[in-house]
Structure 1
Amino acid sequence: MTSFLFYKKEMISLNTQSNKNAVVVYNFNISSDKVFEAWIDPDKVMKWMFPKGDIQRVEIDRSVGGSFSFVDLREGKEIDHRGEYLEIERPKRLVFTWGIPKETPDAARVNIDIVSIKAGCELTLTHELLPDWSDFAPQTEQAWRNMLEAMDKVLS
């Protein structure tokens, strides 16, 4: 299998002063290719992202420098989660920014690392929290864990 590695060359404003990271490790009984694809395929993202919410729209430009928008409905308000892909190394690594521009111009960074194991793959998600959000690491980890469990159900 051929692996492609892409990196974004220009610098963007990211959180570099994070006090704490939210880290989740999750084992899937499916291939790393399928798990990786679930992150960048709009139809799949619609099925697992925000399992307790009401996802309205998913737009993805799956290239380095490309952006995404995941809009979910919460208490009657649309929340637009936006980001930009910084690294794409299929099927091992995906790095992107993550933010809600209506709430703050700052963007956090999320690293997805996927390693093939005997029974499938192990995914490690590291969300580099913005300093103002560092106290929310446990809630952030639980939210990502819920989404990964929903992804697992969709892919299994």
Structure 2
Amino acid sequence: MINTTEGFTLVRTFDATREEIWTAWTDPDSVAKWWHPRGTSTPRETVDIDARVGGRYTYAMVNDATGEKVVTGGTYLTVDPFERLAFTWGNPDDDPDDSPVVTVTLEPVADGTRMTFELRGVTGAKGDGYFYDGWDATLDSLSEHLGGPAA
């Protein structure tokens, strides 16, 4: 089992609807456009999503300079459209009970949608955590995909 006491939370407010953000997380064409930090890309042909409880997903990030590819995947644990999405995150062949868990919660607010991103089961804090920094930069890509500036 993973240590769920370790992890971090990132909160962003987007000038977008919950539906637009949900689509960005669950539609393979959208995922390919943003699910990577700068300097990497996610080729559309590497993205496979079955966004239902028990469904699986995979995608690959490719380092634009070196061509090195990292394949990531997991299993959907919670799928509450436009509100909450939870999934394991790691090597696609890992046991879900031994994988970190991402939870994305969407809440309407006056200026758009507040998205709370929580990753449990990894260490890392702002500036010193590989996972924190990678996800922070990836959420910048999501903001740009949704038509806003990198936050």
Q: Read off the aligned partner of 2:125 and give its amino acid letter.
A: A
2:53 is matched with 64
Instruction: Give the C-alpha shift of residue 142 in structure 1.
Output: 2.5
2: CA distance, partners of 1:101 / 1:67: 9
TM-score calculated relative to the size of structure 1: 0.79
Residues 88-120 of structure 1: per-residue CA shift (max 9 Å, x gap) = 111010000001257x65311111111000111
Is the CA contact 1:79–1:100 (under 8 Å) kept in the aligned structure 2? Answer: no
Residues 1-51 of structure 1: per-residue CA shift (max 9 Å, x gap) = xxxxxxxxxxxxx52x23421110001011111111100000111010113
Matches within 5 A, 1:26-65: 26-52=12-38, 53-56=40-43, 57-65=46-54
Q: Read off the aligned partner of 1:122 and give its amino acid letter.
A: R
Q: How many residues of Structure 1 are paired with residues of Structure 2 in the alignment?
A: 137
Aligned residue for 1:137, secondary structure, equals: coil
Q: Read off the aligned partner of 1:123 and give its amino acid letter.
A: M
Is the CA contact 2:58–2:92 (under 8 Å) kept in the aligned structure 1? Answer: no
2:70 is matched with 79
Identical counterparts, % of pairs: 26
2:114 is matched with 122
2:105 is matched with 113
2:83 is equivalent to residue 97 of structure 1: no
1: CA distance, partners of 2:28 / 2:5: 32
Aligned residue for 2:77, secondary structure, equals: strand
Aligned residue for 2:91, secondary structure, equals: coil
Aligned residue for 1:76, secondary structure, equals: coil
Greater shift, 70-79 or 146-155, is seen at 70-79
1: CA distance, partners of 2:73 / 2:51: 13
Over aligned residue pairs, what C-alpha RMSD do you find? 1.8
Q: Which runs of 5+ in 1 are unaligned?
A: 1-13
